[in-house]
């Protein structure tokens, strides 16, 4: 250790800059200066946004998705668009399996319908199903979860119900419900909602229990914080990000479920174009190389949509996790 007997020259020079008398006089004590601790301007949403925007893949997919969604909505309004269920005729025969060209941009399917129109119409249907299922699951999940968490007496009963439903594989319940009701958009949504609310409700219930029992909330309550404010500040921000995540993931899940059900034969009737139907129709003719486009094109659209939602949903969930807010 450097033992300093005399001050270094450097310091002496610094001291010389000032009036020596002033230097060694006692200073005034300023209480405000004493409280100079680090100030944290941490804002949850701002940090979430910053984390999210740093993820270039997510931003890329958001743009892609944005364009795609916009297009799906706008497509029917564009000029020269054909009706998705209309059968086109050529020489008194349906114009079946017409390969993509200037007349039919995506070609026609084995019934003679325009694939381009069908794909976009199907996308609209599937997206609608996905969004509605997601929203509904979220809503139902929150309500049930809130009741489950709040009313202590119901906890045991609800936990048992949860366990029972949780133990039965999703696909089975899905199949069962679809088997029993007539296939249509409404019933499909219903079938998917039957179990979709489960994870959400469990999550909400856990959060409520945390709000009740965690020490930082006990401390809050001791200080007189009203429950409402605690819910708003502690539960809600986290809840909103989870809801958004679930809706984002619900869409690929719904599309997947729809494809699954159609495959089994419990899907939507052929009159309502949906991505599931299209995949199925394409599958039937897939073996002949010339009509492969009927499976490839819908698959590409479907894949882009599902991947985009999945990536965005996960990226958002990572960004919203406070542990990642360095």
Give min distance, CB of 83 to other proteins, in A.
26
Which of 33, 101 has the CB closer to other proteins?
Answer: 33
Which tokens belong to 42? 């941490």
Residues 6+ apart with CB under 8 A from 307: 61, 252
Kindly state the smallest distance separating residue 279's Cβ from other proteins, in Å. 6
Told to check if 157 binds other proteins by CB under 8 A, we report: no
Minimum CB distance to other proteins smaller for 19 or for 80: 19
Residues 6 or more apart whose Cβ sits within 8 Å of residue 97? 107, 108, 109, 110, 285, 290, 291, 294
CB 193 within 8 A of CB 133: yes
- Judged by CB under 8 A, the residue of 69, 283, 285, 318 near other proteins is 283
CB atoms under 10 Å from CB of 308, counted, come to 23
Residue from 22, 77, 78, 222 in contact with other proteins (CB under 8 A): 22
Options 69-77, 134-142, 160-168, 187-195: segment touching other proteins (CB under 8 A): 160-168
Please say which residue, 13 or 83, places its beta carbon nearer to other proteins.
13
**Is 238 in contact with 231 (CB distance < 8 Å)?**
no
Using alpha carbons, select from 325, 302, 311, 300 the residue that is nearest to residue 59: 311
| In contact, 255 and 305? CB cutoff 8 Å | yes
Tokens 């020259």, located at residue? 9
- Per CB under 8 A, the segment of 10-18, 85-93, 212-220, 236-244 that binds other proteins is 10-18
Binding site for other proteins (CB under 8 A): 1-5, 7-8, 11, 14-15, 18, 20, 22-27, 29-31, 33-39, 163-164, 167-169, 171-172, 175-176, 179-180, 252, 255-256, 259-260, 263-266, 279, 283, 286, 292, 295, 299, 302-303, 306-307, 309-311, 314, 325-326
């Amino acid at each position: 250790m450097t033992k300093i007997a005399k001050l270094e020259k450097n310091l002496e020079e610094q001291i010389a800059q000032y009036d020596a008398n002033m230097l060694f006089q006692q200073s005034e004590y300023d209480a405000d200066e004493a409280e100079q601790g680090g100030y944290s301007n941490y804002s949850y949403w701002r940090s979430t946004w910053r984390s999210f925007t740093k993820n270039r893949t997510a931003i890329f997919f958001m743009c892609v998705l944005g364009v795609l969604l916009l297009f799906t909505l706008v497509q029917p309004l564009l000029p020269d668009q054909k009706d998705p269920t209309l059968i086109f005729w050529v020489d008194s025969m349906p114009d079946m399996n017409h390969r993509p060209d200037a007349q039919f941009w995506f070609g026609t399917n084995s019934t003679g319908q325009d694939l381009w129109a069908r794909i976009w119409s199907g996308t609209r249907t599937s997206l609608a199903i996905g969004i509605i299922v997601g929203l509904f699951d979220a809503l139902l999940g929150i309500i049930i979860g809130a009741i489950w968490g709040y009313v202590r007496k119901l906890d045991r009963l609800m936990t048992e119900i949860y366990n029972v439903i949780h133990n039965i594989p999703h696909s089975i319940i899905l199949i069962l419900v679809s088997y029993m009701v007539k296939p249509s958009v409404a019933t499909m949504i219903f079938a998917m909602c039957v179990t979709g609310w489960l994870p959400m409700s469990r999550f909400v219930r856990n959060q409520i229990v945390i709000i009740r029992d965690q020490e930082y909330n006990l401390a809050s309550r001791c200080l007189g914080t009203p429950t409402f404010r605690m819910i708003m500040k502690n539960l809600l921000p986290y809840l909103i990000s989870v809801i958004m995540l679930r809706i984002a993931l619900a869409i690929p899940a719904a599309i997947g479920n729809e494809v699954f059900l159609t495959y089994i034969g419990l899907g939507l009737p052929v009159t309502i174009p949906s991505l599931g139907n299209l995949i199925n129709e394409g599958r039937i003719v897939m073996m002949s190389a010339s009509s492969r486009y009927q499976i490839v094109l819908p698959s590409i659209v479907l894949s882009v949509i599902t991947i985009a939602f999945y990536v965005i949903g996960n990226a958002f969930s990572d960004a919203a996790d406070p542990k990642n807010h360095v």
